């Protein structure tokens, strides 16, 4: 009975360890990595707080300034400090309120609301950027670990070549020389060095990826999937070399990009800034009212209390150094942002054309490797090995053929990975804002 009592807890503990080991080896696919990075991006949270702050500021900017309340003594005689000695002595309570020029309050509120509307588009653009950055890091880790697997797979071939060379040299029956054995051992050492370098590259990319995923160094509980993803292109039509796409069509498509819609909101806010500067040519004004209470005269006769009401106006006469300059500054800022819009459009188009051309060439190389280079390299390696085993070939040629075959396999892998990276980048240019159909005025365009 005592032994049985210990067996069940031990089995439960063993199952718990096995389960925790399975959790520690979670397979991470590229889609999950991107989603997790987007959900754990602190930039998004900061952006939301900034939007909330701007919205709160817009409410405050649209409110009148606090009224001013004043309490004082007027015309108090200094010889006696008596409240009923002089008829003009009063205890005054006043209230004043200032009003900004024109429609300044509504325009200030509208400008900040337009600035707040920019933040959701910035978040969409950020998510698109994270998709590219995290996706490329995932692909770099996959590329390194798959290259290591290819080298490890071919290591046994070089070890067999070394054994064949040593057997042939020991029997003195073939043409094998001592330098052939040294050459085979040297290639094995170089393979080990390549694996070390690839492990370094894999670990660096892995650490960068774990930073995006909000994973601590002591909790790296995932492994990269060993299958290259097939990332879908958002708009395959734009990648058809037989279809001509004019600049106007591209610009129309890129105008829906989150970065462009954010700039449109920024332009709208700058237009509101120009309207606000125009309001400063109008006078600001204020209202004031005060009530003065007087005591009875020395003979006990009552005195009438006093009421004062007034209006004050600012007179914008000297506008050359203030209002004019503020208006010119607002107009210059608006035009600068408009210029930034066209620069961004051209940048998106140039980046798209670059990634598109890169993808075309990668597809051509991929087809060449799959249909010609890899089969030819394999045939060459087999032929050189057959000739050497039949004592009709050179050992150095066998080694060169095997190395060339391995390098061709690695090059083919790099092409496939680079193709997926190019598609990730193209999908960034194909990003569309969820509110891209929002109405835009002709002036902003």
φ, ψ dihedrals at 40, nearest 5°: -105, 20
Q: What pLDDT shows up at residue 215?
A: 67
Q: What pLDDT shows up at residue 156?
A: 73
Class of residue 380 by CB neighbours under 10 A (exposed 0-12, middle 13-18, buried 19+): middle
Q: What pLDDT shows up at residue 445?
A: 35
Q: What pLDDT shows up at residue 6?
A: 45
φ, ψ dihedrals at 439, nearest 5°: -65, 135
Distances 10 to 3, 7, 101, 304 between C-alpha atoms, Å = 11, 5, 81, 99
Q: What is residue 219's three-state secondary structure?
A: helix
Quickly list DSSP for 74-138. ES--TTT--TTSSTT-EEEEEEEEEE-STTHHHHHHHHHHHHHTHHHHHHHHHHHHHHHHHHHHH
Q: What is residue 419's three-state secondary structure?
A: helix
Distance, CA of 264 to CA of 445 (rounded, Å): 8
Is the C-alpha dihedral spanning 27, 32, 37, 40 positive or negative?
Answer: negative
Distance, CA of 82 to CA of 295 (rounded, Å): 10
Residue with tokens 């009148």: 64
Average pLDDT, consecutive stretches of 10 residues, N- to C-terminus, the chain (445 residues): 47 47 68 92 94 94 90 84 79 91 92 94 95 95 93 77 63 58 76 90 90 66 84 82 78 90 93 92 90 80 86 85 89 92 92 92 94 91 79 72 89 95 94 63 36
Token reading at 361:
């060439």
Distance, CA of 189 to CA of 166 (rounded, Å): 17
């Amino acid at each position: 009975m005592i032994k049985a009592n210990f067996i069940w807890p031990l089995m439960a503990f063993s199952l718990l360890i096995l389960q925790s080991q399975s959790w520690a080896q979670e397979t991470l696919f590229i889609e999950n990595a991107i989603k997790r990075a987007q959900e754990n991006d602190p930039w998004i949270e900061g952006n939301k707080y900034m939007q909330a702050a701007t919205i709160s500021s817009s409410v405050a900017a649209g409110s009148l300034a606090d009224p001013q309340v004043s309490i004082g003594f007027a015309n108090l005689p200094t010889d006696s400090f008596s409240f009923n000695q002089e008829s003009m002595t009063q205890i005054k309570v006043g209230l004043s309120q200032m009003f900004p020029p024109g429609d300044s309050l509504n325009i200030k509120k509208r400008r900040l609301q337009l600035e707040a509307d920019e933040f959701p588009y910035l978040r969409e653009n950020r998510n698109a950027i994270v998709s590219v950055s995290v996706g490329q890091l995932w692909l770099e880790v996959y590329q390194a670990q798959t290259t290591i697997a290819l080298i490890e797979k071919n290591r046994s071939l070089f070890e067999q070549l070394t054994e064949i060379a040593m057997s042939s040299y020991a029997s003195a029956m073939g043409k094998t020389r001592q330098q052939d054995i040294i050459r085979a051992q040297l290639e094995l050492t170089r393979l080990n060095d390549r694996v070390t370098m690839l492990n370094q590259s894999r670990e660096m990319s892995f650490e960068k990826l774990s930073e995006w995923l909000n994973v601590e160094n002591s909790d790296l509980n995932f492994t990269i999937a060993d299958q290259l993803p097939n990332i879908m292109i958002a708009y395959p039509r734009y990648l058809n070399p037989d279809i001509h796409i004019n600049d106007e069509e591209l610009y129309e498509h890129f105008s829906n990009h989150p970065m462009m819609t954010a700039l449109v909101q920024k332009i709208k806010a700058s237009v509101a800034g120009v309207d606000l500067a125009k309001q400063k040519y109008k006078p600001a004004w204020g209202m004031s009212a005060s009530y003065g209470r007087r005591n009875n005269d020395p003979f006990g006769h009552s005195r009438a209390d006093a009421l004062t009401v007034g209006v004050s106006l600012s007179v914008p006469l000297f506008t050359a150094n203030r209002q004019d300059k503020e208006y010119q500054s607002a107009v210059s800022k608006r035009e600068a942002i408009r210029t930034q819009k066209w620069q961004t459009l051209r940048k998106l188009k140039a980046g798209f054309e670059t990634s598109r051309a890169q993808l075309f060439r990668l597809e051509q190389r991929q087809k060449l490797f799959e249909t010609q280079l890899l089969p030819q390299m394999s045939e060459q390696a087999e032929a050189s090995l057959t000739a050497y085993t039949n004592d009709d070939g050179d050992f150095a040629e066998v080694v060169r053929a095997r190395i060339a075959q391995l390098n061709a396999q690695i090059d083919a892998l790099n092409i496939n990975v680079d193709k997926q990276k190019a598609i990730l980048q193209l999908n960034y240019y194909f990003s569309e804002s969820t509110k891209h159909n929002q109405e835009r005025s002709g002036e902003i365009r």
